[in-house]
Each structure stands twice: as C-alpha cells, then as structure tokens.
Chain A
Amino acid sequence: MLAHYPYYIAAWIFLCGLYGIVRSRHLVHTVISLTILQTSTYVLLLAIGFRKGGYAPIFADIHPGVVTVDPIVQALMLTDVVVEATVVALLLAMVVKAHEKGGTTSPDDLRYMRG
C-alpha cells in the first residue's frame, strides 16, 4: 500500500476535482475544479516516471549513460501545461458569454440552453 501512495494521491486529487465540478454553484468554480482534476495527471505521470537516485534527463552536465528518471512522461506534461492554460482561457470565455446571454453563472441555471 505504502509503495504505491503517489498513485492514490493522484486518484484523490482527481476525485476532489470531480467532486468540485459536481457540487459547483458557479461556472468559474467549475473551471477551477477542472484544473485541479487535471493536476492529478501530473502526479500520476511523475509517479510512474520517478526512480530513486535518478538524475534529471538533461545531459548538459551529466555523462550520457547516467541513470535518469523517465523523460517521456515529462515531455507529455510539458505540452499539457500550456494547452491546459489556453483551454481554461477558452472555458472562461464561455463563462463570460454564458453570463452575458443568460444572466447567470450557476451551472444549475443553464437549462435555457436546452434544445
């Protein structure tokens, strides 16, 4: 159990974010909950790639062949962070428009969008 604890932390963060979305009363809160949910992927990926005593996979100052942590999961996260920021910007723009058109920022009051 203890040997896998970062995996459980990732699941916990994921569920916290999901809970935030489910219980949200404000669309900005929904978007922020989504970003929290998304940070769980960072924890999960880092947990998979980490190795005890592993160096950072940058060979500018270490000899090639030195044991490093997994660079692939780090590359996956790198683009993820920037794309997440723009997706959040897009979602917040939708919130602004939803407030403008519907006069509400509560997810429960978005029923006028039906049909």
Chain B
Amino acid sequence: MTRKHRLLLFLIGAIGAGFVYCAGAGNMPPWTQYRGPYGDVIAGLAVFQRHATDTVNAITYDYRGFDTLGEEFMLFSAVTGVMLLLRPEKDEKDASAKEPRNPASFRDRAALSETVQVFTTAVFGLWVLFGIYIGTHGQLTPGGGFQGGVIIAAAPMLLYIAENTDAFRRIVSHPFVELLEGFGAAAYALIGLAALAVGVPFLTNILPLGTTGNVFSSGTIALISACVGIEVTAAFTLVIFEYLREILSREKNQED
C-alpha cells in the first residue's frame, strides 16, 4: 500500500466517522448543561458516605476502585515492558556489567554552574516533601497517589541536573526501587482482599472513616492513595533510569 492509497483510505474513513460523530454529538446535552444524574449523586454523597472532601479521589480509589486497580496493573506491566525492552543485551552486557560498582564510568561533565548545583540540591528535600504532601492529602484536596508519585519521581532528576550523577544513580538504580514498585501494586490488591477476609465484597472501605477534613480520614481511600503513590514513584523512577542508562551507554560507546 503506497502513502497515497493510505491517505485516501484515511480520508474516506475520517469523513465517514466525522459525519456519524457529528450526527451523534448533536443529540448530546448542550455544553454547560450537564444533565447526567450520577455525577450529582456521587458529589452529594461522597462527603457523607466516605468522609472524603475530594470527590474525584473518592471515586478513583473507592467507588471505582476496581477499575483503578486494573489501571495500576496496566502501569505496572507497561513499566515491566520498558525494563524488558531496554535491558542490556548480551553484547552490551560485557561493557556494562561492572558499571554499578564503578560509578566513575558515568563521568560528570563540566559542571553547568554552581548556582544550579546549589539551588537544585537545596530544593531536593522540599520537592520530595511537596510530593508527599500532595500524595497524602488526596482525600481532602486535589492530589493523591498518582500526582504525588510523579512529583517525587521527578526529584532524582534534580540531582541529575545538578550534575551529581553518582548520587542520582545510587538513588534510581537501587534494587529497593523495584521492590517498592512490586509492593505498591501488591498492597492495593491486598487491601481489596482484606475486605474479603472480613466477609464483605472486594475493595469495600473497611477501615474507620475518621473525621471529615482530617488527613487520617476516609478509610481505605487514603491508604490506597498512598500505595498508588509508592507504586507510581517507583514506576517512574525505573522508567527514567532505564532511559538514562540507554542514553548514557550510547554516549559511552560513541566516546570509545
């Protein structure tokens, strides 16, 4: 099939699909006039039923917690796929086998500037703290495990920017990160199974709900959110590490 044929096929399909879509969209409720009952029902009930003021997270980690479990495993398997694809292969292995014990093989380039180094190192702690804050307050205000996890996973990048690649490597290549990823995914499923153990359906919110507005409230919502945070932190750290190893090993090969 040539490019011309492909474009022609696409245009026929796009015009057809566009026509059907527009005919359907015309029958949707007009924009700004939301009618569906479910959003209103959950928005009205979540605070009283689950003691969580952030309805979005109450839905994500409780009302449709089973779907989120599936999405978490999707994240898990995608990261496993990245690690499998980018693993050092046989011919690369000989060159990279001793790398973890020899951090000097990842040379620091000429430092950018001392200002950058001092600032990024100083911000590192604040950055992680902010990630933990976002991750643990998901049941109260916008945030939660997914957002907090991504913020924390970006923290080691600060060290990389600060040209402290040795410290960066020690953080991101630690076997503990892989353990954390497995733990985060498993803990979510185990919280769901704990509900079965006490005789209620899977992923039922079995913990005491606490006082609305308190950090330690909303039962399993906060707990699952924290587990997701751990999983996302580890997953993104692993992805960042795999890509940087790929880039760094290429740079090394070119220099050799």
Binding site for B on A (CB under 8 A): 1, 3-8, 11, 15, 18-19, 22-23, 47-52, 54, 56-60, 64-65, 67-75, 78-79, 81-83, 85-87, 89-90, 92-94, 96-97, 108
Contacts and interface: CB of A to CB of B under 8 A. Distances in A.
B248 to A, nearest CB: 14
Interface of B: 3, 6-7, 10, 14, 17-18, 21-22, 25-26, 28, 30-34, 36, 38-40, 42-44, 46-48, 53-57, 59-60, 64, 67-68, 71, 74-75, 78-79, 81-82, 85-86, 140-142, 144, 146, 149-150, 213, 232, 235-236, 239, 242-243, 246
B30 A4 contact: yes
Nearest to B52: A59
A18 B48 contact: no
B14 A19 contact: yes
Nearest to B38: A72
B89 to A, nearest CB: 9
A7 B25 contact: yes
B42 A72 contact: yes
A70 B60 CA distance: 13
A15 B53 contact: no
Given A86-B75, A93-B81, A97-B85, A65 B44 contact: yes
A104 B158 CA distance: 33
B3 A108 contact: yes
Nearest to B68: A79
A4 to B, nearest CB: 5
Contacts of A72: 38-39, 42, 59
Contacts of B36: 48, 70
Nearest to B1: A108
20 contacts: A4-B26, A15-B18, A19-B14, A48-B34, A50-B31, A58-B142, A64-B48, A69-B34, A69-B39, A70-B34, A75-B59, A75-B60, A78-B56, A78-B146, A79-B68, A86-B79, A87-B74, A90-B82, A92-B243, A93-B81
